[in-house]
């Protein structure tokens, strides 16, 4: 059997601080690297072009659609998908290289994502092991989910597991996380509104954030991650709160762009 060829896909926007490490980890593993960039205004493009990368500028379609677009640009059917703030550990690199000569009978493979938060590796808080399908045959599955929470769905459910870690440098600072909380909450609320999801003030706005904190900090042992465990669990619960507050407001008044149309009329 001839070795299979693998395409690596990445989506990016203003990732000059993180994307080079991501690219370095893929060199020698992927037979092509595709970066779909949402018109970055920093040095992302220049960094990418130092490497053997197919760089594509493309308007942002949302996380799910943008990642599926990137997969569609691949020359090969076997995909390794990373975010710009992720990189392959050496053990995971070796695991993927072994797949090239012995893919096995699975249609996709999970990896354990190991998250670094403000310089601390998070062992608890519901963040480890965070199993993700990131290596798969695109003929058997695709990205799906509700933005910004995307995942790869394999129709056959024939899924294997790779050794090694997908190293995720999630947030360099607490401020970076807090800014992301508000951005992701807005994206998620709009996606839920457009899908027609219902929202309850008592259940979703009041109790869902509280349950999220108790689950991650108490039951998923977030307190063992120390100071940053508390910060992470609190910020994650806040995102749940802001997401449902926005959705509740959208249900009452419509999306901001819809409100503007009404005002113009």
Its domain, for residue 76, covers: 6-171
pLDDT above 70: residue 243: yes
Q: Tell me: pLDDT of 155 over 70.
A: yes
pLDDT above 50: residue 234: yes
Neighbours of 209 (CB within 10 A): 21
Q: Which of 177, 51, 31 is nearest to 99 (CA)?
A: 31
Please indicate, yes or no, whether residues 159 and 184 belong to a single structural domain of this protein. Answer: no
Residues 117 and 200 both lie in one domain: no
122 and 136 part of one domain? yes
- Specify whether 224 is located in the same domain as 122: no
Identify whether residues 30 and 154 lie together within a single domain. yes
Among 150, 171, 192, where does a domain finish?
171
Indicate if 129 and 216 belong to the same structural domain.
no
Q: Domain check: are 159 and 57 in the same one?
A: yes
Which of 147, 171, 195 is the last residue in one of the domains? 171
pLDDT at 259: 59
The reply to whether 88 and 140 lie within a common domain is yes
Please report, for the domain that includes residue 100, its CATH number.
Answer: 3.90.550.10
Answer whether residue 109 shows pLDDT above 70.
yes
pTM over 0.95: no
Specify whether 201 is located in the same domain as 160: no
* Residue 1 maps to a domain: no
Give the end of a domain, one of 119, 138, 171.
Answer: 171
Confidence of residue 138 (pLDDT cuts 50, 70, 90): very high
Per-chain mean pLDDT for the chain: 95
User: What digits encode the pLDDT tens for the residues 178-228?
Assistant: 999 999 999 999 999 999 999 999 999 999 999 999 999 999 999 999 999
Predicted local distance difference test score (pLDDT) of residue 264:
42
Mean per-residue pLDDT for 51-68?
Answer: 97
pLDDT value of residue 115? 97
52 and 157 within one domain? yes
Residue 179 covered by a domain:
yes
Q: Within a domain: residue 106?
A: yes
Total of domains in the chain: 2
Report the C-alpha gap between 154 and 171 in whole angstroms.
Answer: 29
Q: What is the pLDDT of residue 1?
A: 60
What pLDDT band is residue 2 in, cutting at 50, 70 and 90? Answer: confident
3-state secondary structure the chain: CCCCCEEEEEEECCCCCCHHHHHHHHECCECEEEEEECCCCCCHHHHHCCCCEEEEECCCCCHHHHHHHHHHCCCCCEEEEEECCEEECHHHHHHHHHHCCCCCCCCEEEEEEEEEECCEECCCCCCCCEEEEEEEECCCEEEEEECCEEEEEECCCCEEEEEEEEEEEEECCHHHHHHHHHHHHHHHHHHHHHCCCCCCHHHHHHHHHHHHHHHHHHHCCHHHHHHHHHHHHHHHHHHHHHHHHHHHHHHHHCCHHHHHHHHHC
Instruction: Report the C-alpha gap between 83 and 94 in whole angstroms.
Output: 19
């Amino acid at each position: 059997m001839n070795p299979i060829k693998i395409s690596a896909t990445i989506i990016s926007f203003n990732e000059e601080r993180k994307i080079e490490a991501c690219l370095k980890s893929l060199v020698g593993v992927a037979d092509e690297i595709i970066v779909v960039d949402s018109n970055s205004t920093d040095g992302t493009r220049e960094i990418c072009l130092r490497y053997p990368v197919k760089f594509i500028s493309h308007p942002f379609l949302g996380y799910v659609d943008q990642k599926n677009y990137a997969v569609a640009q691949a020359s090969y059917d076997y995909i390794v998908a990373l975010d710009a703030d992720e990189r392959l550990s050496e053990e995971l690199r070796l695991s993927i290289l072994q797949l090239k000569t012995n893919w096995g009978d699975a249609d996709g493979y999970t990896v354990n994502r190991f998250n670094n938060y403000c310089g601390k590796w998070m062992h608890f808080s519901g963040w480890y092991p965070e199993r993700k399908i990131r290596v798969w045959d695109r003929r058997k599955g695709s990205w799906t989910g509700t933005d910004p929470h995307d995942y790869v769905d394999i129709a056959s459910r024939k899924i294997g597991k790779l050794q090694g870690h997908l190293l995720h440098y999630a947030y360099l600072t607490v401020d970076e996380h807090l800014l992301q909380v508000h951005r992701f909450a807005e994206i998620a609320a709009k996606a839920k509104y457009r899908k027609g999801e219902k929202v309850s003030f008592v259940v979703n706005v009041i109790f869902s954030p509280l349950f999220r904190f108790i689950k991650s900090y108490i039951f998923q042992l977030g307190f063992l991650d120390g100071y940053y465990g508390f910060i992470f669990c609190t910020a994650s619960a806040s995102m749940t709160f802001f997401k449902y507050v926005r959705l509740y407001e959208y249900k009452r008044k419509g999306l901001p762009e819809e409100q503007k149309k009404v005002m113009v009329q």
